[in-house]
Structure 1
Amino acid sequence: MRIGVVGAGGVGGYFGARLAAAGHDVGFLVRGAQLTALRTTGIEIHSPRGNLHLTDVRASDDPDELGAHDVVLFAVKAYAIDGALPALQPLLGADGFVVSLQNGGVAPAERVAAAVGVERTVGGAAYISCHLRAPGVLEHHSPLAGMEIGELGGGSSARVEEFTERARDADIDAVAAPDIRTVLWQKLAFICGLAGATASSRHPIGEVRATEAGQRLLRGLVSEAAAVARADGAALADDFEDKTLGLLNRLDPGMRSSLYEDLAHGRVLELDSLHGEIVRRADALGLDVPVTRTVYAVLEPFARAAAAPA
């Protein structure tokens, strides 16, 4: 299978490298120092699932040079979507499709669909903690490395089943989801809890959840996101909030979110696509989300400063 990857950070780099190691023809659309590294020393992964170093990597900053692909993994950060969308058309083969793997609920996949067509867009949720530590070098932090993908309109399809099978053969825990919109909302609610609590407090999840105030913060963030999700049509279970809070309370106590990591290192934040998305949808639906709105207000100055031109 010929697979294109837009963005070779923690998500795209990991999944693309595993697929390439399994024998697929993978091309990475990257630029700058990352492109230089992939072309000279390749891509290296340090992982509890097994280290990997690929030295022969197909990479370019020109989508026309990479050519057409059967599947394109769209793995840029949510704030980089608009700038990367024009690259998708030249990367798609005649029957090719895009798997959108951003955080932010259903909004990123909807933006991709608006650019290439809903019939060429598959929604995706990535479950992995992996970060770019140096150009071409990825650090995978836990054995979790999976994705759920599905047709935006719901139901199953041969193309989704085929790609998930190929991904599983590459040691990726891939699942075909019959209701990807609900899956994407579930992930957004979980991330809003973890990311909002750790980034706003500047502490790992274990320290946040150790106090009653921290537990209230987590419940408020998760419950508000769940309320917006249900109002938007997501079929969340009645016990979704309790199960999600249970998961947050079982996470490794030292775990931080990528939002925390980006904040700590002065990088551009995905705040607008996470808590900002909840606030916008809540306003449109006439819902009150005071905890999420407060966390957004606390972090927004940092997001604005990080995004400002140097």
Structure 2
Amino acid sequence: MNILVQGAGALGSYFGGRMLEAGENVSFFVREKRANQLRDEGLKIVSPEGNFECKNVNVFTQTDEVENVDVIVLTVKGYHLDQVIPQVETIVHQTGAYVLPLLNGMEHLEKLQKAVGKEKVIGGFASIIATLNEQGHVVHTSGSSALKFGSLHPEQTDVCDKFEDLHKRVKTNLLKEENILKHMWKKYIFITAFSGVTSATQLPAGFIANVEATFEVAKKVIYEMSMLAEKEGIELTNQEIENMVKRLKKFPEEATSSMHQDLRKGLPIEVEHFHGGALRLARKHEVTIPVIETLYGVLKPYEHGKPYEVRK
């Protein structure tokens, strides 16, 4: 398969690198600054799943350079989606590629489907805790990783089967799911709680597990998000919901969310795509989600990076 990874942050670099390591024809579509870094430093992964380094990475920065693509793996942050949709639209038009977005939340699906057609947008998400260091190398800190995907349209069956075949050759998990929307919602539910609380407290997972009041906040976020999922037609059992609650206490004490890592670096955060998206769904269904609304208010000032420091 010919795979184009659009966005080469920690997520795109990791999964793109793993597919490159397995011998797939992988290229990256990135902004000029990241392109120069990849040309100078190469792509390097430091990971419990095995280290990998490639010095010569195929990089594009202009849409007219791209051809012969089967799948675009879209790994940009949610706040860059509107900016890159015209690029995705152009690449799909000139190559016929399918789009596999690995963005957080759910709102991106409708936006992409409107741009390139429902038959072209595959469902998917990624599970990994990783960041880029100063050299632009991937530092993978969770013990494992997974990219889950699944068909949202009958025309996607063949390309999903081909993507599934990669699982046998890569040093990560590429897993096809029959009910991908449900799995995407379960990720959205959990990460809204975990990211929200670690970022609002500016503390790692151990404080969720060991401080009962903090754990209660995260648990209530899961309950509020599960209610929204049900309103959207996603059936979750009580056991599935409680398993997500229990998972909050299973992280290593020092583990944290990507949102918290971005906040600590003074970078933009995806509060609008996690908590803001949930609030828009709540308004749509005329329900209230007070805990999520509070976290949204606490984190919103950090949306575009470190807030302006008030002069004394």
Range of TM-score over shorter length: over 0.9
Q: Equivalent residue for 2:191?
A: 191
SS in 2 for 1:134: coil
Cα distance in 2 for residues equivalent to 1:279 and 1:87:
29
Cα distance in 1 for residues equivalent to 2:96 and 2:172:
23
Determine whether 1:72 maps to 2:72: yes
Q: Equivalent residue for 2:225?
A: 225
Cα deviation for residue 162 of structure 1 reads: 1.4
- For 2:187, give the aligned amino acid: K
Cα deviation for residue 96 of structure 1 reads: 2.1
Cα distance in 1 for residues equivalent to 2:82 and 2:34:
20
What does 1:261-300 align with in structure 2 at a 5 Å threshold? 261-300=261-300
Q: Equivalent residue for 2:29?
A: 29
Structure 1 unpaired stretches of 5+: none
Cα deviation for residue 155 of structure 1 reads: 11
Cα distance in 2 for residues equivalent to 1:143 and 1:168:
19
Cα distance in 2 for residues equivalent to 1:200 and 1:155:
42
Determine whether 1:236 maps to 2:236: yes
Q: Equivalent residue for 2:259?
A: 259
Structure 2 unpaired stretches of 5+: none
Determine whether 1:101 maps to 2:102: yes
1:236-281 Cα deviation digits (max 9, x unpaired): 2222221001111111111111111111111111000001111110
- For 1:166, give the aligned amino acid: L
SS in 2 for 1:249: coil
216-225 vs 32-41, greater mean Cα deviation: 32-41
Cα deviation for residue 305 of structure 1 reads: 5.6
Q: 1:94 to 1:32 in 2, by over 3 A?
A: closer
Quick check: 1:269–1:306 contact (8 Å CA) kept in 2?
Answer: no
Cα distance in 2 for residues equivalent to 1:66 and 1:184:
29
Q: Equivalent residue for 1:6?
A: 6
What does 1:126-275 align with in structure 2 at a 5 Å threshold? 126-153=126-153, 157-275=157-275
- For 1:53, give the aligned amino acid: E
Quick check: 1:156–1:177 contact (8 Å CA) kept in 2?
Answer: no
- For 2:297, give the aligned amino acid: A
More strand by share: 1
Quick check: 2:122–2:156 contact (8 Å CA) kept in 1?
Answer: no
Cα distance in 1 for residues equivalent to 2:190 and 2:100:
21
Quick check: 1:34–1:135 contact (8 Å CA) kept in 2?
Answer: no
Quick check: 2:202–2:260 contact (8 Å CA) kept in 1?
Answer: yes
Q: Equivalent residue for 2:116?
A: 116
**TM-score of the superposed pair, with normalisation by structure 2:** 0.93
Quick check: 2:49–2:172 contact (8 Å CA) kept in 1?
Answer: no
Quick check: 2:41–2:135 contact (8 Å CA) kept in 1?
Answer: no
- For 1:116, give the aligned amino acid: V
Q: 1:279 to 1:154 in 2, by over 3 A?
A: farther
Cα distance in 1 for residues equivalent to 2:20 and 2:91:
17
Cα distance in 2 for residues equivalent to 1:246 and 1:205:
13
Cα deviation for residue 304 of structure 1 reads: 4.8
1:261-308 Cα deviation digits (max 9, x unpaired): 111111111000001111110111011100000010111112156599
165-174 vs 17-26, greater mean Cα deviation: 165-174
Cα distance in 2 for residues equivalent to 1:304 and 1:162:
38
- For 2:284, give the aligned amino acid: A
Quick check: 1:7–1:30 contact (8 Å CA) kept in 2?
Answer: yes
Cα distance in 1 for residues equivalent to 2:307 and 2:69:
32
- For 2:63, give the aligned amino acid: P
Q: Structure 1 vs Structure 2: percent identity of aligned residues?
A: 29
Cα deviation for residue 56 of structure 1 reads: 1.3
- For 1:182, give the aligned amino acid: K
Q: How many correspondences in the alignment? A: 307
- For 1:103, give the aligned amino acid: N
SS in 1 for 2:298: helix
Q: 1:168 to 1:86 in 2, by over 3 A?
A: farther
Quick check: 1:192–1:275 contact (8 Å CA) kept in 2?
Answer: yes
Q: 1:153 to 1:80 in 2, by over 3 A?
A: same
Quick check: 2:144–2:172 contact (8 Å CA) kept in 1?
Answer: no
**TM-score of the superposed pair, with normalisation by structure 1:** 0.94
4+ runs deviating over 6 angstroms: none
Quick check: 2:267–2:304 contact (8 Å CA) kept in 1?
Answer: no
Cα distance in 1 for residues equivalent to 2:307 and 2:162:
39
Cα distance in 1 for residues equivalent to 2:193 and 2:203:
13
Cα distance in 2 for residues equivalent to 1:140 and 1:128:
8
Quick check: 1:19–1:167 contact (8 Å CA) kept in 2?
Answer: no
Cα deviation for residue 31 of structure 1 reads: 1.7
SS in 2 for 1:197: helix
Cα deviation for residue 205 of structure 1 reads: 1.4
Cα deviation for residue 94 of structure 1 reads: 4.8
Cα deviation for residue 95 of structure 1 reads: 4.4
